[in-house]
Amino acid sequence: MQRATVLFGVLLFVAGCAPSNQPTFQPTYPVRGKLLDANGAPVRGGRIELRPADPALPEARGFVKTDGTFELGTYKLNDGVAAGRYTVTVDPIVFDKAGNPRRQSLPIPKKYGDPSTSDLKVEIEARTNEVVWSLK
């Protein structure tokens, strides 16, 4: 009986030390804003991605609406972004009525499509974040 108790205790200890299969999620904070072209007019579409400076942080993304506004999400649509510093990329992608993505001619300079050439940076804080970005 004592042997079975010791074995059971060892098994519980080992199970407690085993790595969890559950992912660790960073807390996220609301990020919404407006995307403007070089003339100050709303960009009428596009996909925004935030690439973190810290590789431990997750990427975030969102889509620009036809009025230039957007909300960003990390784990699901519009759920916010982890606090940290990011490089912003913007691609000229819109969705047709069936929900299929396609590239469109939008006033988005090519440099914003690549994180190595985009000069658009943002720091997301642990609060609601309102941003306005102008593409030059």
User: So what's the pLDDT on residue 134?
Assistant: 96
Q: Is the pLDDT of residue 52 over 60?
A: yes
Write the pLDDT tens digit of every residue in 112-136: 999 999 999 999 999 999 999 999 8
DSSP-derived 3-state class of residue 97: coil
Q: Is the pLDDT of residue 6 over 70?
A: no
- The boundaries of the domain holding residue 86 are 23-134
CATH of the domain at 117: 2.60.40.10
Determine which of 51-60, 69-78, 90-99 has the lowest per-residue pLDDT on average.
90-99
Q: Does residue 68 form part of some domain?
A: yes
Residue 85, exposed/middle/buried by CB under 10 A (0-12, 13-18, 19+)?
middle
Q: Does residue 11 form part of some domain?
A: no
Contact in structure between 102 and 128 (CB atoms under 8 Å): no
Please report which helix (H) or strand (E) contains residue 62, including its range: strand 60-63
